[in-house]
Amino acid sequence: MYNKLDVYAHRGASSTATENTMAAFEEARLLGATGVELDVHFSSDNVPVVFHDESLQRMTGVRKVITEVTIKELMKLKQGNRFTRRILGNRITLFQEVAQWAEQYAIPLNVELKPTMVGNEQAILDFLHTLDLPKGSHISSFDEVLLATVRRERPDIAVALLATKATDWEALKDKNVQFVHAHKRHYKPEKVQQVEKAGLTMRLYGIEGTEDFLAKPHEAIAGYITDYPEQVLAAIKKVKR
């Protein structure tokens, strides 16, 4: 942790590099991020790939759903700005590539499992049973079924519940998770109190580095998830906790 607060680069350093690519992850490392957040889907042939959207269109221009495309087809696609990606675009990243990179540099990963995985039981089991993450890593998801599977199959890996408007904050103690990840708009005394009451800690995302609470948040805050790791690190540099 950085002064006891961790700073995870959201999809890598996604404000300066193409999100969820090796370029973004390496940029995050060079900027000093204490970890990286990334998103995982399965291809149609059940290879874990690092990509945020269910649709390929925003990042590649292809009007297909990622779970309906083979890994061979995915590896031919280029990501990035629609005006430059054909020439300068990055290919879609294999999860295994990121895991190996993170192990090399001892960079903790926040691995978000996407809801498209629900129902693909054997692929999830295969993924979890072979998963090897750097120290300090964890798995997060909006889907409690996926988190329950992680807890059952890999109790050695910490899990984080991604909060939504529908989250019952008073029932957090029953969720059997170690962390809550929530948008900064949920940083309210009554919600933080429920996190603390449940014996959990909380990471906030949507952080830009200009928030007035960054330097001295509530003790239940474990860290931040941000597109701007350099700015957030600078904002908390002098924190004394």
Please compute, for residue 76, the number of CA atoms within 13 A of its CA located in the half-sphere on the CB side.
5
Residue 82 lies inside a defined structural domain of this protein: no
Residue 57 lies in a domain: no
**In this prediction, what percent of the chain has a pLDDT beyond 70?**
97
In a domain, 34, yes or no: yes
Structure tokens at 240: 């004394």
CA–CA gap between residue 135 and residue 97 (Å, rounded): 17
The structure tokens 């300066």 sit at 16
* 222 located within any domain: yes
- Quick check: 92 pLDDT over 80? yes
Range of lowest pLDDT (45-54, 104-113, 208-217, 229-238): 229-238
**Domain membership flag for residue 77:** no
Number of domains in the chain: 1
CATH code at position 151: 3.20.20.190
* Total-model pTM: 0.94
Q: Is residue 186 part of a domain?
A: yes
CA-wise closest residue to 133 among 219, 57, 43, 48: 48
Residue 127 domain-assigned? yes
Q: Taking residues 78-105, what's their average pLDDT? A: 91
| 166 in any annotated domain | yes
pLDDT for residue 240 is more than 60: no
Domain around 133 = 6-46+95-236
pLDDT digits (tens, 9 = 90+) for 165-182: 999 999 999 999 999 999
